Amino acid sequence: MSAVTASSREIILRRLESGARLALLGVFINSVLAIAKILAGILGNCYALIADGIESALDIFSSLILWFGLKVAAAPPDAEHPYGHGKAEPIAAVIVSLAVIGAAVGLSVQSIREIVTPHHAPAPFTLGVLVLVIIVKETLFRKVIHAGDEIGSTAVKSDAWHHRSDAITSGAAFIGISIALIGGQGWEPADDWAALLACGLIAFNGLRLLQPALHEIMDTAPPKEFEDAVRAVAENVVGVVEVEQCRMRKMGLDFYVDIHVGVQGSLTVYEGHRIAHDVKDTIRASDPSIVDVLVHIEPAETEGGH
């Protein structure tokens, strides 16, 4: 393995390990919050808080799925998976997104049941619990979404929005409970209506996160700007006259490039082979997320080059 490839692999592994650590942090925090919210909901006669606690329990499952997916994605290529195990990362993102949508549907159904069922107003102390939850979850969201953008992980960003969804439901529950307490008799279902509204926002976020994960699984091309940058790097390699075709696909956090470059037709096979290696090494050195480049050499229609 070349020094460029080894260095790129180390960077990718560090990014995956960082994402996996954040997933385990999410498991711990969600475990504490789930217990706190469910107990406070039972003692404070607040279904919205109980439902919020159940969602936090589901978040534990999602974070574990994310952790497992990132661990599998970090495994090196083998005989059965010559391109590595990177697809485990978007698969984990799909599962997390579906879990978000499923939680929204389940909570909305139960919220409707609570709306039509007479019950007492929640206890005031539940508002303090919700404020603490909102602060913790929003802080965790900001930390995880920053890491997801930094390492380019769809799964990590999906998990971050799961934390934001939890903060949204807690915020909606806070508003609903406040209305129920201020309004008095007849306003008891206000927290359930707030929870129902939050479920719609959660489902929207789940669908929004599902799309890029599915695109990644289907090998959708990366942004045009990324392709143009790779083309520009290849065109500046000595001996390259033109770049005819450039195709790219994402495997987890890794990118694979298939590029056709034109060189002077009078060059020897040895010289063409050297230029192909220069193109490959230069492109890999330009971005650590590009782990492999397949270069096809063709005689250029126009003479010239660098």
Tens of pLDDT, residue by residue over 243-268, are: 988 999 888 777 899 999 999 988 99
Q: Is residue 96 very low, low, confident or very high in pLDDT (cuts 50, 70, 90)?
A: confident
User: Domains plus CATH for the chain?
Assistant: 3-217 (1.20.1510.10), 224-299 (3.30.70.1350)
Q: Is residue 13 very low, low, confident or very high in pLDDT (cuts 50, 70, 90)?
A: low
Give CB contacts under 8 A, 24+ apart, made by 225-234: 226/255, 229/286, 229/287, 230/257, 230/259, 230/283, 230/286, 230/287, 230/290, 231/259, 233/282, 233/283, 233/286, 234/259, 234/261, 234/279, 234/282, 234/283
pLDDT of residue 4: 47
Q: Is residue 117 very low, low, confident or very high in pLDDT (cuts 50, 70, 90)?
A: confident
More confident call, 7 vs 144 = 144
pTM value?
0.64
Per-residue pLDDT at 42 exceeds 80:
yes
pLDDT average, residue stretch 78-101 = 82
